[in-house]
Structure 1
Amino acid sequence: MHHALRAPRRRTAVQIMSGSEKATVAVRSLARQIAANENDVPTSQATGEPYRNVYNALSQTHLPTLAAAGIIIYDPKRQKVSAGANLDAASIIIEMTTPTVQLLFDEKEHATEDTIIGD
């Protein structure tokens, strides 16, 4: 399961699915929410190339990986996603590890800034 949760887009997809009141979510809706999050824009403005990139990556890579881990159920023909048996566990793992992951990225960013400033 940890491998399935390594990619930021997969983690975001799990968070969206965990917070969704709908039993089934369309891939296009999931892609639009992720594209909006990544580009810091409202969902209504998550269009064009950024949206297409997320949609394609979800359909071809991320959703099949999450489905293989039992986190979601992915229907590629209907382009629909629903909760899998391991969705709640994955959501808990993300909640527990996100602060640590963010701390590591923050430290790496500061180390890079220090190197650039020191040169």
Structure 2
Amino acid sequence: MSGSEKATVAVRSLARQIAANENDVPTSQATGEPYRNVYNALSQTHLPTLAAAGIIIYDPKRQKVSAGANLDAASIIIEMTTPTVQLLFDEKEHATEDTIIGD
């Protein structure tokens, strides 16, 4: 592959992998309604939004996705903020547990 070619991923493959991860099953078993729900959400909402932000390049006619100009920046932001988000969710859980225990 030359430097000008970009690796692409089929939306079907992406949806199958996400459905498998969400349902804790092998990709070969990510079928039916869970797969369709993910596929529709990707095609109708998530991929167009990510494409508008320049994070991916989404070709809805070919149903293919490739890296956009802002993918590296988005990846860095996610890496940097994930620990903070996790900490906030952990604190929220502890606050809820304290409220339940205190009642």
Normalising by structure 2, what TM-score?
A: 0.85
Query: Secondary structure at 2:58's aligned position in 1?
Result: strand
In 2, the alpha carbon distance for the partners of 1:19 and 1:28 equals 25
Contact 2:6-2:67 within 8 A present in 1 as well: no
Contact 1:18-1:88 within 8 A present in 2 as well: no
In 2, the alpha carbon distance for the partners of 1:31 and 1:65 equals 16
In 1, the alpha carbon distance for the partners of 2:4 and 2:28 equals 18
- RMSD between aligned residues: 3.8
Contact 1:18-1:91 within 8 A present in 2 as well: no
Equivalenced residues, count = 103
Identity of aligned residues (%): 100
Structure 1 position 85, deviation (Å): 0.5
* C-alpha distance 38-96 of structure 1, shift in aligned 2 (>3 A): same
From 68, 75, 78, give the equivalent of 1:91. 75
From 41, 53, 59, give the equivalent of 1:75. 59
Structure 1 position 76, deviation (Å): 0.6
* C-alpha distance 48-40 of structure 1, shift in aligned 2 (>3 A): same
* C-alpha distance 108-18 of structure 1, shift in aligned 2 (>3 A): farther
Contact 2:55-2:68 within 8 A present in 1 as well: yes
Structure 1 position 18, deviation (Å): 18
* C-alpha distance 20-87 of structure 1, shift in aligned 2 (>3 A): farther
Structure 1 position 41, deviation (Å): 2.2
**Over residues 62-113 of structure 1, what are the superposed CA-to-partner deviations in whole Å (9 max), with x where a residue is unaligned?**
0000000000000111110001011111111111111111111122122223
In 2, the alpha carbon distance for the partners of 1:118 and 1:42 equals 42
Query: Secondary structure at 2:2's aligned position in 1?
Result: helix
Unaligned runs of 5+ in 2: none
Structure 1 position 19, deviation (Å): 17
* C-alpha distance 19-44 of structure 1, shift in aligned 2 (>3 A): farther
Query: Secondary structure at 1:37's aligned position in 2?
Result: helix
Farther off after superposition, 17-26 or 65-74:
17-26
User: Bigger radius of gyration, 1 or 2?
Assistant: 2
